[in-house]
Amino acid sequence: MRQVAMEKIPESYLKYTQRKVFIICLLLFLIFLLGVYAINVGAAELSPLQVLLTLLGKTEEGPFTIIIWNIRLPRVLAAITAGVGLSVAGCVMQNLLRNPLASPFTLGISQGAAFGAAVAIIALGAGSTHSTSADAVIINNPYLLTICAFAGAMATTLVVLFLAQIKGVTPEAMVLAGVALGSLFSAATIILQYFAREVQVAAVVFWTFGDIGRASWRDLGIMATTVGAALLYFMANRWNYNALDAGEETAKGLGVEVEKIRLVGMFVSSLITAVAVSFLGIIGFIGLVGPHMMRRVLGNDHRFLIPASSVMGGLLLLASDTLARTIISPVVLPVGAITSFMGAPLFLYLLSRGYSRK
Amino acid sequence: MILSVDKVKFSYKSRPVLREINFKVNRGELFSILGNNGAGKSTLLKCLNKILKPQGGTILIEKEELLALSRREVARRLGYVAQRYESARITVFDAVLLGRKPHIKWDVGVRDLEVVRNVLEVLGLEEFSLRYLDELSGGELQKVVIARALAQEPRVLLLDEPTSNLDLKNQFEVLRIVKKAASERNIAVVVVMHDLNLVLRFADKFLLLKNGTIFACGGMEIMTPENIAAVYEVRVAVERLADTPVVVPL
């Protein structure tokens, strides 16, 4: 029966969807390859085979296993997790706010987190430096810093959501509100820094650079749980997001509770951003670049766009971090700078193409 | 009778838009809502789909109280084609598949795909199924959004100015499709339209709306020059030309 019915479905359509699944699988494979490579490269000489065997638990305890399990692997997994989270958050925000420029970075959430971190370091004494080189930064109290950064990010989110719900600001204008909030927080951070000691300023600047190496296994666990749960929620709502793409009234006509979907979706994507940023610092543009690359390749169907953007985000951040570690090794460049280097040209490209939602 | 509207009232803030609207629609009928801009036509259509919530009155669809249903349950019973819609970069097949949304639990089933294929065939859109929406002409796009609403398998189809951006050929084609769907699927179609000549040619029932109240409602007999002149504030003559009723402004 099923067979008979399937035959009536245009084969070309099935092929077309299979192609999308294939691209996602290909990206997953690329992540795996790059992951092994990223564990492999670095100051300590390892071979890819050693890496694979160690990951499978087939080698004896030794310095290699310690480097792999305690330093390289958490770093690689953190890069993938944060990349997935930031990218999928951007993808959903662009849909919910009906604005191609929406992302964790452009909504001011990252700047809110930076302000929180600055408060923790300068006003609450959570960190300082011994010298001017970034390596010597000491964060005395990472928990306090993370909590403050998280509070800053969520505060921004709540203001944006408040404007949307209570004051009736249109979704399109919410990105503008985010830009305003972003510069407000940046200004507040500058004022704080003005009254701070130079070691504290250095610590704030260092924190805002963004650094994947900060993540411990415990941080990774929290990030992975949040991102995993959010991904499930987003996938469950993929049809709702597709309906929203057809226009708000059409979506309502198709049975979508538009206001609820928008509020919860914005909250969840902000939560991912807040968690990622408070653990790793500011990493811009992943939420913009990841989804837009996949929109070009796969179109706007969220059944495929959500997983594809996630994987692309993970791949991009992992690639950026690996580049940051290796380009002038043994110096590790701030990964936030690398992602902005890639992201800014894309942003300009989007602007030059106009605001069309194609 | 499939749709029964009783004493429906709606106001934006304190400005009343609809007062005491009553009418009934039967199965297989093409029911048209007419009136000047701002008379409350689109508002009435949105009330019928619970996109706007009326402040008073009842709407019954097959004896069920519409306002008590969830949005998803409403979407399973009524299809709605908005006046404005956006064409995202998705294929025609996926755009029509979206119409199955109210019926889909987690993923698309074989039946969903089959319904879509069938609707595409009925509307002659098969050859477009893998084209992107933003590559279509206005007429094709209008057919796609109607196809989407039909894929919902609704009992009542609500159309807000389905022909306003179309050329003559496509105007006729779209209305023929809609009329055929109404009789073949035995569903009711409620349509808001401006072109009186098209309405006279295709609609079975007419509702003349003026300042948020019903001026007249019924069959061909209410479409008199006097009624039309009173509602549209333009003097007209209603004539028959080649056996088709036409309205001519004087």
pLDDT attached to residue A153: 86
**Is the CB of residue B42 less than 8 Å away from at least one CB of chain A?**
no
Please list every residue in chain A whose beta carbon sits closer than 8 Å to the beta carbon of residue B93. Answer: 10, 13
Cβ of B90 under 8 Å from any chain A Cβ? yes
Q: In this structure, is residue A10 part of a structural domain?
A: no
Helix (H, G, I), strand (E, B) or coil at A335: helix
Residue of B69, B93, B120 to mutate, interface with A, max A Cβ within 10 Å = B93
Q: In Å, how far is A291's CA from the nearest CA of chain B? A: 14
> Is B82 within 8 Å of A249 when comparing Cβ atoms?
yes
Burial of A346 (0-12, 13-18, 19+ CB in 10 A): middle
Question: How would you write A275-294 as a 3-class SS string?
Answer: HHHHHHCCCCCHHHHHHHHH
A255 vs B75, B84, B158: nearest CB: B75
Q: Strand A137-139 to strand A127-129: parallel, antiparallel, or no bridges (unpaired)?
A: antiparallel
Peptide bond preceding A100 in cis form (omega within 30 of 0):
no
Q: Which chain B residue has its CA at the smallest distance from A252's CA?
A: B51
So what's the pLDDT on residue A23? 93
Angle between helices A217-236 and A302-326 (to 10 degrees): 160
Closest CA to A206 of A108, A148, A130: A130
> Rounded to an integer, what distance in angstroms lies between the CA atom of residue A267 and that of residue A276?
14
Task: Indicate the helix (H) or strand (E) that contains B22.
Answer: strand B15-25
Quote the tokens at residue B142: 């209008």
Instruction: Specify the DSSP element, H or E, that contains B181.
Output: helix B168-185
**Is B127 at the interface with chain A, CB within 8 A?**
no
B188 touches chain A (CB under 8 A): no
What's the residue count for chain A? 358
The domain in which residue A338 lies consists of 15-352
User: Nearest by CB to A239, which of B73, B90, B101?
Assistant: B101
Cα separation of A43 and A48, whole Å?
Answer: 14
Distance from C-alpha of A137 to C-alpha of A133, rounded to nearest angstrom: 8
Assign A158 to helix, strand or coil. helix
User: To 10 degrees, the CA torsion angle through A98, A100, A105, A106?
Assistant: -70
Strand arrangement of the beta sheet that strand B3-12 belongs to? B15-25, B3-12, B56-61, B64-65
What is the pLDDT at residue A127?
Answer: 63
Token pair recorded at residue A113: 């987190």
Instruction: Choose among A354, A322, A324: nearest CA to A39.
Output: A322
Instruction: Name the residue among B10, B39, B12, B16 with its Cα closest to residue B193.
Output: B39
pLDDT given for residue B155 in this prediction: 92
And the tokens for A75? 């770093």
Number of domains in chain A: 1
Partners of residue A252 in chain B, C-beta under 8 Å: 49, 51, 71, 80
Residue contact A239–B110, C-beta within 8 A: no
CA A17 to chain centre: 26
Is there a domain that residue A2 lies in? no
CA-to-CA dists, residue A107 to A89, A346, B58, angstroms:
11, 17, 43
Q: Are A191 and A261 in contact (CB under 8 A)?
A: no
Tokens 């309205």 correspond to what residue?
B247
Q: How big is chain B, counted in residues?
A: 250
C-alpha A138/C-alpha A134 separation (Å) is 9
ipTM of the complex: 0.87
Chain B residues lying within 8 Å of A256, measured CB to CB: 71, 101
Q: CATH for B3-249? A: 3.40.50.300
The CATH number for A200's domain is 1.10.3470.10
Q: Which chain A residues have any C-beta within 8 angstroms of a chain B C-beta?
A: 2, 5-6, 8-10, 12-13, 16, 236, 239-240, 242-243, 245-247, 249-250, 252-257, 295, 299-301, 357-358
Position A304 scores a pLDDT of: 93
- Round to whole Å and give the CA distance between A129 and A197: 10
Q: Most B CBs within 10 Å: which of A99, A234, A238, A239, as the mutation test of the B interface?
A: A239
**Are A12 and B46 within 8 A, CB to CB?**
no
Q: What is the pLDDT, as a whole number, of residue A78?
A: 92
Of A63, A68, A254, A270, residue with least CA distance to A158: A270
Segments in chain A below pLDDT 70:
1-9, 43-45, 126-142, 347, 350-351, 353-358
In a domain, A230, yes or no: yes
For B101, the closest of A236, A243, A247 (CB atoms) is A243
In one letter, which amino acid is B48?
L
HSE on the CB side for A261, CA within 13 Å? Answer: 25
Query: B209 — phi, psi (to 5°)?
Result: -105, 130
Collect the ranges in chain B with pLDDT lower than 50: none
pLDDT tens string A104-122: 888 888 889 889 888 888 8
Chain A residues near residue B70 by CB distance under 8 angstroms: 255
Would A4 be classed as within a structural domain? no
Residue A358 lies in a domain: no
